[in-house]
A and B are shown apart, each in its own frame.
Chain A
Amino acid sequence: MKYITLVCAAGMSTSMLMAKMQTSADKQGIEATVIAMSESTFEEYKEHTDVLLLGPQIAYLEEDLKAQYEPKGIKVAVINMMDYGTMNGEKVLKDALAMLA
């Protein structure tokens, strides 16, 4: 089971993308759990995450979050802007899983 967490400023726009990613994963029979939350909530999040994806509007936090979470084994990346804007769940899922390969 792969755990993917999406974060953005308030959690609203990423939750739409999250739903699409989860649907795409289920359709392809991929064992992945995709959740979304605000960045401040993630700081207190205790469950396991394999990949942390950032909404492009908080891309400026990438360095900070990489420094904080990559030592813990969590892969951190910013979601591609066009994929995010067009809510391309399938592509974002594919890119996320590629990071774990």
Chain B
Amino acid sequence: MSKLNVNDISKKIAPILNKIQKSKLSNGVSGGMMAAMPIILLGAFSALFLNLRIPAWKSFIAFSGIAHALNVAILFSTNFLAVAFVVTIAGSYAKQYKEEPMVPSLIALVCFFIVTPFTINEGVTTISMQWLGAAGIFSAIIIGLVSTRIYIYIKRKGFTIKMPASVPPVVANSFSSLIPAFAAIAVFLIVSTVFSGTHFETMHQFIYTFIQTPLQGAGGNIVTVVILWTFAQLLWFCGIHGTLVIYSVVLPIFTAMDTMQLSAYASGQALPNITGRAFVSTYTVSGSAIGFAILMLFVAKSKQYKALGKITTIPALFGISEPLVFGTPLVFNFKFFVPFVFLNGISLTIAYVLTAIGIVPRVAGISGMSGMPIIFSGFMEGSWKIAALQVALVLLSMLVWYPFFKKADKAAYIIEQKAEVK
């Protein structure tokens, strides 16, 4: 009977989900951010190693020059992320249109720097790195998408220089991308000139003030985050990968927040955010259902739930919740609706309050490595206290899941006993 429900509701929501899933913009942005993962991780691990709180390690890396090397790595990864993103997002977006990504990526990169301020001092031209890191991320996303769209539009309209058939394709291709490329660049030259006349001075500042900052405010608002992560669980209840759906909307802003966080962490400054992708991934491991898996494994009386405990616990510890969600199943299983849907929100609220009042430190902002087990991920975010809170939240989830689990287990056990008697 569950299967029937899944199909019915899936079919109704399918068109909307398809639109989100297939959206070229959404895929372009998230695909681009995924593609930049090596750079993101370089920065994250460099910050991690730089800040290990072991005095012997700290003096070793300072004296051996490793600390300097790590700082350089961070300078051109975390603090260079806007540049990386403009390249990867432009390329990823172009691929959505089945276009070769290299030229659009290059154009987007140039457009980004065209709207970036520079100074000339005694013949030396200098660019501040102010807009190349976290603060420039939204600008980078917009430039990556807009410049690519212009390029593709002009190219498809046929405003190209057509070479005679005898010219080799490689040459003909590079000529055909000339006018579309110039069109995109021209647009941003105009943008750059227009903004330099305003008090914003640059497009980056404008985007940062009007788009990035308010969105970061929303992303930092625990109420918004709780609503989103509860809605994600509701989608999971309907058999849909809720986390993926929410991330397709939230990823850009959370990435910007985490980048800023990591940059501050690396340079030893005060951490600006409480929430962000790292915060959410750290405190909602496996939809806050690890406690359920543990209960099934150790406390279940019925064969059914004991068996489920065996196959769901280890994956759940690593953040893989599909066995739990589809094997129990939790999908359309009203027995477990309350804990499954609401525990994420509860965990996040508790974590937020504890972090806000200072009992638990803020997370470092290291994320993107799916499959990192719980407790390890807590330590990676900079403190044993974070790992300890993760454990405390699992214990809490065991408490909350218990009554629902007990009822279902008892019922299953009775049915099994009756069957055996027969």
Contacts and interface: CB of A to CB of B under 8 A. Distances in A.
Secondary structure type dominating chain A contacts: helix
Interface string B215-242: 0000000000000000000000001110
20 contacts: A9-B241, A12-B371, A16-B315, A16-B320, A56-B239, A57-B239, A57-B241, A57-B325, A57-B326, A59-B10, A59-B239, A60-B17, A61-B18, A61-B21, A84-B322, A84-B326, A84-B327, A85-B324, A87-B323, A87-B327
A99 interface: no
A53 to B, nearest CB: 14
B51 interface: no
Contact of B325 (A58, A63, A85): A85
Given A56-B239, A86-B323, 15 more contacts: A10-B244, A10-B370, A12-B370, A13-B315, A56-B6, A57-B239, A57-B240, A60-B17, A81-B6, A81-B326, A82-B329, A84-B326, A85-B328, A86-B327, A87-B327
Interface in B37-56: none
Given A12-B370, A81-B2, A60 B14 contact: yes
B322 A13 contact: yes
Interface in B380-419: none
Interface of B: 2-3, 6-7, 10-11, 13-14, 17-18, 21, 27, 31, 239-241, 244, 308, 311, 315, 320, 322-329, 331, 370-371
A23 interface: no
Contacts, number: 73
A57 B331 CA distance: 10
Secondary structure type dominating chain B contacts: helix
Interface string A80-94: 111011110000000
Nearest to A60: B14
B179 to A, nearest CB: 29
B11 A13 contact: no
Contacts of A59: 6-7, 10, 239
A12 B308 CA distance: 20
B370 A60 contact: no
Given A10-B370, A13-B320, A60-B10, A82 B326 contact: yes
B323 A81 contact: no
Interface size class of A (residues with CB under 8 A): 20 to 34
Output the residue of A57, A58, A84 with the most chain B CB within 10 A: A57
A56 B326 contact: yes
Given A60-B14, A86-B311, A81 B322 contact: no
Given A13-B320, A56-B326, A85-B325, A64 B371 contact: no
Output the residue of A9, A13, A61, A85 with the most chain B CB within 10 A: A85
A9 B245 CA distance: 10
A10 B321 CA distance: 13
A86 B315 CA distance: 12
Contact of B18 (A13, A16, A56, A64): A64
Output the residue of B7, B241, B331 with the most chain A CB within 10 A: B241
Contacts of B3: 80-81
A58 B323 CA distance: 15
A24 B417 CA distance: 32
Given A59-B7, A80-B3, A85 B18 contact: no
B252 to A, nearest CB: 18
Contacts of B320: 12-13, 16
A22 B44 CA distance: 36
A76 to B, nearest CB: 14
Contacts of B27: 40
A100 B176 CA distance: 47
A81 B315 contact: no
A28 B251 CA distance: 44
A55 B322 CA distance: 10
A80 B308 CA distance: 17
Given A12-B371, A82-B329, A60 B323 contact: no
A60 B322 contact: no
Contacts of A40: 27, 31
